[in-house]
Chains A and B, each alone.
Chain A
């Protein structure tokens, strides 16, 4: 079955510094990879995804991520963090050869310090 690892529980970054959130995955076959962001007391919102094609994808809120098949990673990056980027970030993975379930990671709490 597919699985996702988000190794850091919390990421602290100063406003204006680069922000990276990390995710590695394990699936059979080609992965479908997603990132969602949850602002306080809100539902999850789509951030970006990799399905096929160009390894570099652009998403919402100024994020972009590079799909790295050899390292089984998909890390969203933003060149200059804003205080409004403070939120809970979830990585998710799916495979057509899995158990028909979208597997979510445990989440990364991002705190942008003014």
Chain B
């Protein structure tokens, strides 16, 4: 049981490049989400999904896309990277589709730098 896995661990992009951050969980969790962590700002929700085929925007969705074709995978796409997207990105999952009613399981994070 690997839990929540994220790839890559580190990434450097140039402004304007696109990329996909991968997230997978093997716990059959309904709810999955993406957060970004910036110093002094805590965790901010980017996008979330309450089940396969269902996604919705969080607090800071601009510049990011998501899809949920399977229960296990929830990739985050940066469409055209900007320096403001330099951050640490965490994927999380929980059993309940209610989002915040259940313990979240976090991946190890992806540290992204946009030059």
Contact = CB atoms under 8 A, between A and B. Distances in A.
Interface of A: 9, 32, 34, 36, 42-46, 49, 51, 90, 92-96, 98, 100-107
B107 A43 contact: yes
Contacts of B108: 42-43
26 contacts: A32-B101, A34-B104, A36-B106, A42-B109, A43-B106, A44-B106, A46-B103, A49-B103, A90-B42, A93-B100, A94-B100, A96-B101, A98-B100, A100-B98, A100-B100, A101-B48, A101-B59, A101-B99, A101-B100, A102-B33, A102-B45, A102-B99, A102-B104, A103-B100, A104-B42, A106-B40
Contacts of B99: 94, 100-102
A45 B41 contact: no
B74 to A, nearest CB: 15
Interface residues of B, number: 26
Contacts of B106: 36, 43-45
Given A49-B103, A51-B101, A102-B99, A43 B42 contact: no
Contacts of B109: 42-43
B19 interface: no
Contacts of B48: 100-101
A92 B100 contact: yes
A104 B106 CA distance: 14
